[in-house]
Amino acid sequence: MQIAFQENEWVLWCIESPTAFRNYLEALSSQVLGEEGDFVLSDQDRLLDIGKCVDLIWSPYTIDVNEKRCLNKIYTQLKEEAFDEKHFLQTRQLLSDIYSYFTELEQGVDVELDYGEEVEFSQLLKAINVKVEVYKGDTLSALGQYLQVMAKLLEKKILVFVNLSAYLEKPEIEELIREAFYLKLQIILVEQKEINLALPCKRYIIDQDRCEIF
């Protein structure tokens, strides 16, 4: 089976057999996590890394915009910004002031202290708990923010949702897909039964007998 993506068109991948449903998703999940597998993602003749381009969402309640990979990306971007030409001197002065401050505090302690000779910028970010501000709202709002983080921060190209229709009403799914289109994200909905939305769609169906219907 080959899935072809078009701009502003979502993909329904309906897998009716529970065994096939499980097997396909387990295989895809392992590749999203960086393991080898049989799925291939390409842009014309150029092979793409599934782990870098695809995210698999099992449930709206498992998403986390402050998971490690997101925070690492934020820290990397902030560090690059802090040490660019515009901010370099200010950043060096800040780190020097912090070191000098603790050197002064050490004078009031009755034992000799040992600490790094230089303050690490990424450790400073962790110390002040820099993270993405989480939207206070419903499930749809949380998913909308997740789309923003995946597209703008992690630069994902394809989001795969598993049984999203079990959590959202059709108008809500349509709203989410429109947001994805705006962010230039491709959306695959993996479902166990067909769903119809008022948006352009390409359908790929694997029935109970594992016959492929396009």
Q: Which DSSP state fits 128?
A: T
Asked if 162 and 208 sit in the same domain, the reply is: yes
Asked if 195 and 142 sit in the same domain, the reply is: yes
CA distance 184 to 118: 42
Q: CATH number for the domain including 194?
A: 3.40.50.11940
Indicate whether 36 belongs to any domain.
Answer: yes
Residue 9 is which amino acid? E
The pTM (predicted TM-score) of the whole model is 0.88
Indicate whether 116 belongs to any domain.
Answer: yes
Indicate whether 112 belongs to any domain.
Answer: yes
pLDDT at residue 73, rounded to an integer: 95
Q: Say if CB 28 and CB 39 are below 8 A apart.
A: yes
Indicate whether 121 belongs to any domain.
Answer: yes
Asked if 189 and 177 sit in the same domain, the reply is: yes
pLDDT at residue 57, rounded to an integer: 97
Asked if 164 and 195 sit in the same domain, the reply is: yes
Quote the domain boundaries for residue 165: 10-65+132-213
Asked if 61 and 73 sit in the same domain, the reply is: no
Helix (H, G, I), strand (E, B) or coil at 162: strand
pLDDT at residue 155, rounded to an integer: 96
Q: Say if CB 156 and CB 77 are below 8 A apart.
A: no
Asked if 139 and 119 sit in the same domain, the reply is: no
For residue 3, what is the enclosing H or E element?
A: none
pLDDT by residue for the chain (214 residues), tens only, comes to 688 899 999 999 999 999 999 999 999 999 999 999 999 999 888 999 999 999 999 999 999 999 999 999 999 999 999 999 999 999 999 988 888 888 888 888 878 777 766 778 888 899 899 999 988 778 999 999 999 999 999 999 999 999 999 999 999 999 999 999 999 999 999 999 999 999 999 999 998 878 787 7
CA distance 204 to 193: 11
- Number of folded domains that form the chain: 2
Asked if 156 and 189 sit in the same domain, the reply is: yes
CA distance 214 to 3: 10
Indicate whether 1 belongs to any domain.
Answer: no
Indicate whether 189 belongs to any domain.
Answer: yes
